[in-house]
Amino acid sequence: MTSLALRNLGARKLRSFLTALAILLGVMMVAGTYVLTDTIEQSFDKIFAESNEGVDAVVTSKQAVETDDNTEPPIDAGVLDRVREVDGVSIAEGNIGDPQVAIIDKEGERIGGGGAPTFAISASTSDAARERFDPLTYVEGGPPEAKDQVTIDKAAAEKGDFSLGDQVTLAGKTEARQYTLVGIATLGDVENFGGASLALLTLPEAQRITGKQGQFDQITVAAEEGVDQETLAKNIGAALPPTAEVETGEEDTESSQEDIGEFINILKTALLVFAGVSLFVAAFLIFNTFSITVAQRTREFAMLRTLGANRRQIITSVVVEAFAIGLGASVLGLLAGIGFAPVIGLLFDAIEIGLPKEGTVVETRTIVVALVLGTGLAVLAALIPAVRATRVSPVTGLREGAVLETSAGRRRRGVFGIALTALGGVVMALALFGALTPGEAWVGVGAATVFIGVALLSPRLVRPMASVVGRPLEATRGVAGRLARENTTRNPGRTATTAAALMIGLALVSFVTVFAAGLKGSIDDAIDEGITADLLLSNTDNFSDIPALAAEEVKDVPGVESSSPYRYTQAQVEGADGTSYLSLIDPATVSDIFDFDWREGSAETASDLGPTDAFVDEGWADDNDIGVGDSFAVTTPSGKELEYAVTGTFKDNTDFFGDYVASGQDAAAYGEADNVTNVFITLADDADGDAVRGEIEDVVDTAFPTAKVQNREELKDAIGSQLNQLLGVVYALLGLAVIVSLFGIVNTLALSIYERTRELGLLRAVGMSRRQVRRIIRYEAVITALIGAVLGLILGILFAILVSRPLADEGFVLKFPVATLLVLLVLAAIAGVLAAIGPARRASRLDVLKALAYE
């Protein structure tokens, strides 16, 4: 009896451990997310506070259009003279601070790889200004004093292996140039800007390299003694032209911090969603574990009740157990999360989002949320099994093999499951078609509802699915396969919940897989059908602009038929919701490079496009009730007002061109005179493609090191690999949920093996080998995993179909990456095998005599 009690305890220890581990992983992800994002936010706050020290007021131009990069257009240099005249101004200094430059290392590669920006910053123009404003600490040398000198930050110098006196190449909106390194600096005691770099130039050179001659990005002001920031700002405000605005130094720091805070919030939300998925899966596991153990203890509870314990006392005892496990796991999860935060940070590094991460910030909120969430979830998931257990009357419970659930209860569960699944589907559909806002959140709620619904429904699916999945095993593996299949259907509810946990992870994985494949395929189609150019230039980071000059220089390469500048930018269309993306093209060459999918109009519509003409995306035009012959008004990011007459409509597949296409002749009005998004190139018919490409590359490599040459296939590959990178990160984040669900399989197996101890003893006695025992357990795990995987794949594909419906208008075509999906199935089966290792070993090592419970 002692050995039995010990084994019992052992089984419980393992069960508690595995349950705790599931909660731990979920909480770890939540806590890690908070710690990471808080750390990033604090690091940024510090950077902004440091760089704004000594600044009492900041003058910038007004932001006319809310663009994605959220930067103000430059301000006219003349404003500086007005500011200097204002009462209370002691020093006013015009600055450049532009993130669109690159430091090129000795191998010709950009430092930081393009993931994090490099800022061109202007050096102070007077000693007084330097003393007051300059946030930099010069570790070596000093600020640049001539136009061919540069000072860069310490991290960039180390990365590029630069030392004072070296020649450093900088690329901006003009041809790249070499500068002599005269200083290496840090920003106060901040060493890590999260991969961002600084290049300090003299003011005129900074203006030249950023294409802002006669302009500043901002004017920083110091007040005279005794003048407070508010008074100063008010005085300056009165003197400014209507296009400019002023903030106090403090306000400016705060608004910078808020801007970055918004960005970090998006990251935080995304990460928390994934953490939520893990916790959701963990809840399934906890629920299942408690269901099983409570069922195993029905007799114990019944006995307690006959001895006079009331229902509440029994429920309390189960809940207390869950509370203890939940709290313990949450505390460990919190600690693990603090350690895990940098690991999540690596994911950003993987997709080249450089973010500063200095120190470790653990807010009270992090602790509270982690503990409440983990403990609450454990208690909640244990409550239903506890209530269910005590519903059995004591007398019934005492009988051997008391069944906790009636068939009527099971039927009710099935009906409820169907209802929830349908409800979830409807919620998703409504959210996707804009009837529920915010759409993303409601889609999530709908999906979670579907998951719960299918989980409730799935006990009915277990038997048929186990037949299908288990049949081949039975046919090839004989009695072990047969027993495994029968064992999984013995308690369909248990198998279903275990499989459902894996289903969630796999549904999301296959959803993103199918969706990404559709996206990739649609983009490929759009490129194949829409772009006729032979080559294109784009930024090596794949999204930033490149100098407009590149189009001119490439045009002169022999063998180039046409070189067409293309700009993708934003503006505010009067009367339209949100800002519009738009394309600016060169009408003279556009017919060589693009083949628009015309609805009204023809290639001539594009080549005859006048400076005040535009042709528009059909869908957008319909939404805004605009047609050919109408006109619409636009405010550009630099605050210019333009009016366009609509000369045609086209179908914009995958939203490549944006809402409207206009002539690049007005690029200056959009603040885009000096830079382009791409240059599209067609070669002469008789040109030697490789040779011409080689010459174009020579031009680009020396003069425009931030640009690269691609053909259509390479463009598709580049987009594909970017998508894959992103996909990899999503897989990694979902991986945690899958791991949690594997613990679920381990847990369920361990518990059912414990229940079947005598049976296993019998099998061993009548001649089942250890290997055969292991095989049974392994097949059980594989069958369970495959049920989860198949359900997950089906749901994932359905989700992808549903989510892509509203995008069909934009040319989104679903593609089913059959091979990848099959690989997912195989991986699920392998995961099942892995999950079975421990339980199978345990089962095969049972002492036959003890298992038969003889002694």
**Please, which residue, 410 or 771, has the CB nearer to another protein?**
771
Q: Whose structure tokens read 């027993």? A: 483
**Please, which residue, 46 or 756, has the CB nearer to another protein?**
756
320 contacts 426 by C-beta, under 8 angstroms: no
Q: Whose structure tokens read 């500048």? A: 565
Burial class (CB in 10 A: 0-12, 13-18, 19+), 214: exposed
Q: What does the DSSP 8-state code read for residue 667?
A: G
CA-nearest of 321, 337, 338 to 375 is 321
Number of helices (H), then strands (E), in the chain: 24, 25
Q: Whose structure tokens read 């070189």? A: 563
**Please, which residue, 59 or 484, has the CB nearer to another protein?**
484
854 sits near another protein (criterion: CB under 8 A): yes
Partners of residue 506 on adjacent β-strands? none
**Please, which residue, 766 or 819, has the CB nearer to another protein?**
766
128 contacts 96 by C-beta, under 8 angstroms: no
Least distance (Å) from another protein to the CB of residue 789? 23
**Total residues at interface with another protein (CB under 8 A):** 24
**Please, which residue, 271 or 466, has the CB nearer to another protein?**
466
Q: Which of 78, 409, 478, 694 binds another protein (CB under 8 A)?
A: 478
**Please, which residue, 109 or 759, has the CB nearer to another protein?**
759
CA-nearest of 111, 145, 139, 6 to 847 is 6
850 sits near another protein (criterion: CB under 8 A): no
CA 637 to chain centre: 27
Q: Whose structure tokens read 């999360």? A: 337
**Please, which residue, 491 or 497, has the CB nearer to another protein?**
491
Measure the CA–CA gap between 464 and 462, rounded to whole angstroms.
6
Contacts of 146 (CB under 8 A, 6+ apart): 202
**Please, which residue, 27 or 760, has the CB nearer to another protein?**
760
CA-nearest of 187, 204, 114 to 152 is 187
Q: Which of 141, 772, 801, 810 binds another protein (CB under 8 A)?
A: 772
CA 59 to chain centre: 34
Q: What does the DSSP 8-state code read for residue 637?
A: T
835 contacts 785 by C-beta, under 8 angstroms: yes
CA torsion through residues 413, 414, 419, 423, sign: positive
**Please, which residue, 3 or 725, has the CB nearer to another protein?**
3
Residue 148 carries which side chain, given as an amino acid letter?
D
CA torsion through residues 279, 281, 285, 287, sign: positive
Question: What's 427-449 look like in SS3?
Answer: HHHHHHCCCCCCHHHHHHHHHHH
502 contacts 828 by C-beta, under 8 angstroms: yes
Measure the CA–CA gap between 624 and 508, rounded to whole angstroms.
35
**Please, which residue, 79 or 295, has the CB nearer to another protein?**
295
Strand, helix or coil at 570? strand
Measured between alpha carbons, how far is residue 827 from residues 509, 713, 786, 796, 823 in Å? 12, 31, 10, 16, 6
Binding part of the chain for another protein, among 122-130, 139-147, 477-485, 621-629 by CB under 8 A, reads 477-485
H or E segment to which residue 120 belongs: strand 118-122
Least distance (Å) from another protein to the CB of residue 759? 6
**Please, which residue, 504 or 763, has the CB nearer to another protein?**
763
Least distance (Å) from another protein to the CB of residue 829? 22
Q: What is the dihedral of CA 603, 609, 614, 618, to 10 degrees?
A: -10
**Please, which residue, 548 or 768, has the CB nearer to another protein?**
768
Least distance (Å) from another protein to the CB of residue 113? 57
Least distance (Å) from another protein to the CB of residue 766? 5
Contacts to another protein from residues 749-768, by CB under 8 A: 758-759, 762-768
399 sits near another protein (criterion: CB under 8 A): no
Least distance (Å) from another protein to the CB of residue 481? 11
Q: Give the E-state strand segments of 123-243 in sequence order.
A: 136-141, 149-153, 167-171, 177-187, 197-201, 215-216, 218-223
Residue 472: how many other CB atoms lie within 10 Å: 10
**Please, which residue, 400 or 690, has the CB nearer to another protein?**
400
Measure the CA–CA gap between 495 and 487, rounded to whole angstroms.
9
**Please, which residue, 312 or 758, has the CB nearer to another protein?**
758
H or E segment to which residue 146 belongs: none
Interface mask (CB under 8 A) for another protein, residues 793-832, using x and -? ----------------------------------------
Interface mask (CB under 8 A) for another protein, residues 132-171, using x and -? ----------------------------------------
Contacts to another protein from residues 479-538, by CB under 8 A: 479, 482-483, 486-487, 490
**Please, which residue, 249 or 839, has the CB nearer to another protein?**
839
Q: Which of 310, 688, 769, 830 binds another protein (CB under 8 A)?
A: 769
Instruction: Using CB under 8 A, list all residues that contact another protein.
Output: 478-479, 482-483, 486-487, 490, 758-759, 762-772, 848-849, 852, 854
